Amino acid sequence: MSARRKFICGNWKMNGTASEAASLIAGIVGNWKDAYRNVELAVCPPFTALLEVHALVSGRGVQIALGAQNCYHETKGAFTGEISARMLVEANCTYVILGHSERRTIFEEDDVTINKKVRAALSVSLKPILCVGETLDERELNQTYEVLLRQLKEGLRDVSASDMKHITIAYEPVWAIGTGRTATPEIAQNAHSFIRMEIAKLYDDSIANAIIIQYGGSMKPDNAKELLAQPDIDGGLIGGAALDAKQFLAIADAALN
Ligand code: 13P
């Protein structure tokens, strides 16, 4: 058994005005139980709801961390529309999701850009959740491992061994995101074990054994338990099911056992 603590994180994507976000977090806080202290729970609302969500979490005796869904790599300046890592820290974020496949495809972010963001986040002690994952075409062409290795190597370029304790990896097969088509536990486990093995090669065994590797892609209450039971699946990055407080907490329940 690994000593890794399970980490369940909700990626709300572009869902939730401040008032909608308030009612979602209220549902999570209202149904929170002490046992959740045994897992790491986080939510990543849109930027505009971060302060509202923080206000509704803090001082309630619950342990729910806050994350953002993106940041820019520069610290400040003439970058209209962008948000820096330091701004996110000031907005009470512990985590930032980087390299999500929607950023890679819709917003054309490449591995070099993502790596700059990873290093910018680390420089202000914001913890990156680095997403990697293959498209359906890449899987069908047997390129899955090649793609994962490239995204890992490039995304983690110049990240020191000591900074690796602040990194979470999320394996998100693109074909499973928002499609209802979950990777089987076996497919996911194989990818996770590959990622851990490559981290061991890039760094060392103790870093590889300690790193949290989340699965993301149509994780729901009814498939979470089986996925989370796999030896190298340490949590979930949850999209659709994280928009419903009960479903999100049901996944957290699956992580407790
Ligand atoms: P779904 O859970 O909606 O498939 O989204 C997964 C995801 O992209 C989380 O980052």
Q: What is the pLDDT of residues 54-70, one digit of tens each?
A: 999 999 999 999 999 99
Percent of the chain with pLDDT over 90: 96
Token pair in block for residue 178: 């928002």
Of 101, 168, 177, which is best to mutate to test ligand 1, by the most ligand atoms within 8 angstroms of its C-beta? 177
Please give the span between the terminal C-alpha atoms of the chain, in angstroms, as a whole number: 13
Which long-range contacts (C-beta less than 8 Å, at least 24 apart) are formed by 14-17? Answer: 14/46, 15/46, 15/243, 16/45, 16/46, 16/49, 16/243, 17/48, 17/49
Structure confidence by residue, pLDDT tens digits, 128-173? 999 999 999 999 999 999 999 999 999 999 999 999 999 999 999 9
Class at the top of the CATH hierarchy for domain 7-256: alpha beta
Least confident of 73-77, 143-147, 175-179, 236-240: 175-179
Q: 226 catalytic, yes or no?
A: no
Q: Whose CA is nearest to atom 5 of ligand 1?
A: 239
User: pTM (2 decimals)?
Assistant: 0.97
Rounded Cα distance between 217 and 118, Å, is 22
CA of 177 to the centre of ligand 1 (A): 5
CA of 77 to the centre of ligand 1 (A): 32
Q: Which residue ranges have their beta carbon within 6 Å of ligand 1? A: 11, 100, 172, 177-178, 216-219, 237-241
Rounded Cα distance between 39 and 7, Å, is 6
Percent of the chain with pLDDT over 70: 99
Ligand 1 closest atom vs CA 217: 4
| Domain locations in the chain as residue ranges | 7-256
For residue 1, what pLDDT band results from cuts at 50, 70 and 90? Answer: very low
Would you state the pLDDT for residue 188? 97
Q: Whose CA is nearest to atom 2 of ligand 1?
A: 239
Structure confidence by residue, pLDDT tens digits, 207-242? 999 999 999 999 999 999 999 999 999 999 999 999
Q: 198 catalytic, yes or no?
A: no
Of 98, 134, 172, 251, which is best to mutate to test ligand 1, by the most ligand atoms within 8 angstroms of its C-beta? 172
**Residue of 52, 73, 100, 192 marked catalytic:** 100
Structure confidence by residue, pLDDT tens digits, 80-128? 999 999 999 999 999 999 999 999 999 999 999 999 999 999 999 999 9
Ligand 1 closest atom vs CA 177: 4
Mean pLDDT, all residues of the chain:
96
